[in-house]
Structure 1
Amino acid sequence: MVEISSELRLVAACVRPRADERRLDAIRDAASAYFDAQQVVTLAHRHRVEGFVEQGLAAAGVALPSAAATRLATSAAAARLKTLRSAGEEVRVGQAFAAAGIDAIFIKGATLGMRAHGTTALKTSWDVDVLVARDRLDAAGAVLRDLSYRLCVLGGIEDPVKVRRYLAANKEAEWRHAERDTVVELHTELADNNVAIPTIGLNSPRETVELVPGGSLATLATAPLFAYLCYHGTSHLWARLKWVADVTALLRGQDIMRLHDQAVALGAGRTSAVAILLAHELLGLDVPTPLLEHLRHDRAIQRLLRYSVAAIVAEQDERGRLARPFRELLAYTRAQAWLVPGSTHRSGAIRRFLTRPYLPHHLAVPHWAVPGVILGGLPIRLLLRPLRLQRER
């Protein structure tokens, strides 16, 4: 078991799948040790699992002090409202895309909550992730504009040339509805690196999820969905426990070894191994011993696992950003090269790092000149980041 605080251990016990017969005992066991109740609520919000924690503590008969309990109830109610609003937007956007003849697959969000947990009320979903073909990007953008969404690119740039350069260099772009306070993340690819999960997309097997009566949306079938979630989670070093909870719930009752093999075949590389180990060590998922021994043998997997735990326990600032120190930022950047074995993926990760627009002024120069701009300014920004975070605390 990885070393975590008593507060995070309690939160992790609460986000175990509800069908896990050991969940309530795990919650009671974690609650038997001393813990800071206010910190538990802070961590529940930090990992976007307020609903899991509120429901889990109530089911296990664990009562928090009144101040912490009130804070948790308020936070969980706000999270449920936001998730319900996001689920409604998924249906509205899906129906609008269908009316416009745009093929779309919804990833994560409310469809995943329903698939993995049987409800949308437990974890917070703040955006709607939808995949469309790149050649339908303009049409999808027109539909979103008709729905009163506006493109959010690096602080809200509007220049058409900069917008095209941004969309050419990124697999997704955020669209925000100011009045509804909802975000649609429009994807044309599911991975930044074209070596990873290359075949997962609009041609992958699908399943249909009903969010509301008469409101069904297409999402990925279990195998490609698992592979995608593993790559997405590990590329972000599993910084939110809700991602581990999703994978754990999806794996429960499945042939884990078979799904792992399928994920590797689909191009998820080492990320499936990291997901399975985290689900086992943090959320108590039963994993066949031969598979555990095999996964733990890979030193790169162990390195990614350590980096992921460091991201999971990292603090968060008042604006919701992970307050990673300079050392952890370097670890995050290095980890991108190890997600999938092989020099092709590694070189793709380096190329992505050098050509991705990080600031609006990067989009004012030709694409071929972006690496020079980034290499010139990035070291200075990285060195100044710890000082900036310290000032903001």
Structure 2
Amino acid sequence: MTTTLTKKDINSPLIVNQPEIELLLCCARSQVDEQTKVKIKNLVNQDLNWELLLEIGERHGLIPLLFYNLNKLCPQAIPSNIFSSLEQYFQAHVRRNLLLTAELLKILDIFKNNNIQAIPFKGPTLANYAYKNLTLRQFCDLDLLVRERDVPKIINLLTSLGYELPSPIAEIEQKPYLQYKNFLESKEIQRKYDFIHSQKQIAIDLQWSITEKRLNDFFKLDLEYLINNSQLTSLGGAKVAQFSLEDLLLYLCFHGSKHCWSELKWVCDVAELINNNPEIDWQKVEAQAQKIDCEKILELGLWLAYDLLQANIPKSIIASLEKNLRVQWLAQQSYRSIFERPPEELNKYIFISSLKSNISTQLVYFLTMLTTPTAKEWNYLKLPKSLAFLYSLVRPYRLFVEYFNSKKI
């Protein structure tokens, strides 16, 4: 952005009925119906705080869609400095997306020649699959899901292409807690590697599990199932493996839920996947959600996509969700996360655990989150290695102190 944004606290309350938010919601879609077009044209003629609109759009990762629709529908109504800022941002974003897409296709081709099966998810494939347009979804890195047995070979291949893993010694010097396998940031829990190409400024998130270890029982779509159930989609003239539509919809609802839906782009992903892929098998989606105890996660994601962005969801499902008091309560918590501020850490875990219908799963998740130490605990209290086991007690203490302090504000 070339325009200097106001120094507004990013976590300060954002009122849902503000015209700036209404305009952002109207533009947060790749296809705009006639009624929404009229609303957009009326909104841009109001006395808008354009700087605030840019700030909110950037916070929620929706600048590409905002520019796309304003440029198409009413470019003359946008202040020239704001339009110029949006246009420059969009052009830089397009160049970046094309660079990442070309790099992804190059890497996948090398993997294929070395008999390595990989599924790229999020990033270019999500933009192409859900939005049907590489330029409308903002992403900053490449996410690849691979089998763990292929990781050593992949490390060699990516290294030969100029990618680097952080030096273990340097990492531990900078982040001593990484030597403890029970810390959230450890490889044992994250089950991924982060590669960086310093010249190209490209990051690759290489994962051999769809979730971190502590979420094993929370989202049970395992790697082999996802690979065996994947389907080919066209990307830049090549055929690329991708989650099936039904699996991707479940994953997007899970991904948004684990972040308490604090960014509108995650709601937009769900809505776009549904609107641009009418062949989704809803019976299969519901059956799979029931099988892995993700019904509430799915229902919440669908309701948010419908209520905020009018996603084209079957009427029978919407009628059921409207009467579902638990989903409506979860939606209200999500709206606070989106339009006011993300919840404190402890409230976040309470919210996520409430997405499960099985009480034992709720308790296991909550206790796991409560006792898995993170970098915050290390920064809160430095303990010698011989006392590292105490971090599982330091964590709940720090969380409760943070929670009660927030109530005093």
TM-score, normalised to structure 1's length?
Answer: 0.82
Q: Distance in 1 between matches of 2:364 and 2:191?
A: 14
Equivalent position of 1:167 in the other structure? 187
Q: In the alignment, which of 232, 241, 265 is matched to residue 208 of structure 1? A: 232
Is 262-271 or 102-111 further displaced after alignment?
262-271
Q: Distance in 2 between matches of 1:92 and 1:174?
A: 18
Equivalent position of 1:372 in the other structure? 393
Q: Distance in 2 between matches of 1:247 and 1:347?
A: 28
Matched, 1:50 2:75: no
Equivalent position of 1:302 in the other structure? 328
Mapping of 1:104-115 within 5 angstroms?
A: 104-115=118-129
Equivalent position of 1:40 in the other structure? 53
1:113 deviates by 0.6
Deviations 1:63-99 (A, max 9, x none): 3111211111122122222222222232233223333
Over 3 Å counting, the alpha-carbon distance change for 1:219 and 1:373 in structure 2 is same
> What is the identity, as a one-letter code, of the residue corresponding to 2:217?
V
- Structure 1: where are the runs of 5+ without partners? 316-323
1:119 deviates by 1.4
1:196 deviates by 3.2
Q: In the alignment, which of 343, 366, 373 is matched to residue 350 of structure 1? A: 366
1:57 deviates by 0.8
1:295 deviates by 1.9
Q: Distance in 2 between matches of 1:34 and 1:337?
A: 42
Equivalent position of 2:240 in the other structure? 217
1:21 deviates by 5.6
1:224 deviates by 0.6
2:218–2:365 CA contact under 8 A, matched in 1: no
> What is the identity, as a one-letter code, of the residue corresponding to 1:95?
D
Asked which structure has the greater CA Rg, the reply is 2
Q: Distance in 2 between matches of 1:155 and 1:85?
A: 31
Equivalent position of 2:299 in the other structure? 273
1:300–1:338 CA contact under 8 A, matched in 2: no
1:106 deviates by 1.1
Deviations 1:31-67 (A, max 9, x none): 3544212222222221222221111012222531112
Q: Distance in 1 between matches of 2:126 and 2:16?
A: 29
Q: Distance in 1 between matches of 2:340 and 2:197?
A: 30
Q: Distance in 2 between matches of 1:35 and 1:153?
A: 49
Over 3 Å counting, the alpha-carbon distance change for 1:298 and 1:137 in structure 2 is farther
> What is the identity, as a one-letter code, of the residue corresponding to 1:340?
K
Q: Distance in 2 between matches of 1:334 and 1:99?
A: 46
Over 3 Å counting, the alpha-carbon distance change for 1:185 and 1:19 in structure 2 is same
> What is the identity, as a one-letter code, of the residue corresponding to 1:48?
G
SS of match in other structure, 2:337:
helix
Matched, 1:191 2:211: yes
1:307–1:331 CA contact under 8 A, matched in 2: no
SS of match in other structure, 1:270:
helix
Equivalent position of 2:116 in the other structure? 102
1:232 deviates by 0.7
Over 3 Å counting, the alpha-carbon distance change for 1:18 and 1:382 in structure 2 is same
> What is the identity, as a one-letter code, of the residue corresponding to 2:113?
A
Matched, 1:25 2:38: yes
TM-score, normalised to structure 2's length?
Answer: 0.79
Over 3 Å counting, the alpha-carbon distance change for 1:3 and 1:152 in structure 2 is farther
Over 3 Å counting, the alpha-carbon distance change for 1:194 and 1:363 in structure 2 is farther
Deviations 1:15-34 (A, max 9, x none): 22327565433433443544
Deviations 1:133-152 (A, max 9, x none): 23333433333333333346
- Structure 2: where are the runs of 5+ without partners? 1-14
1:237–1:304 CA contact under 8 A, matched in 2: no
1:45–1:75 CA contact under 8 A, matched in 2: no
Over 3 Å counting, the alpha-carbon distance change for 1:331 and 1:384 in structure 2 is closer
Equivalent position of 2:10 in the other structure? none
2:127–2:133 CA contact under 8 A, matched in 1: yes
Over 3 Å counting, the alpha-carbon distance change for 1:55 and 1:367 in structure 2 is same
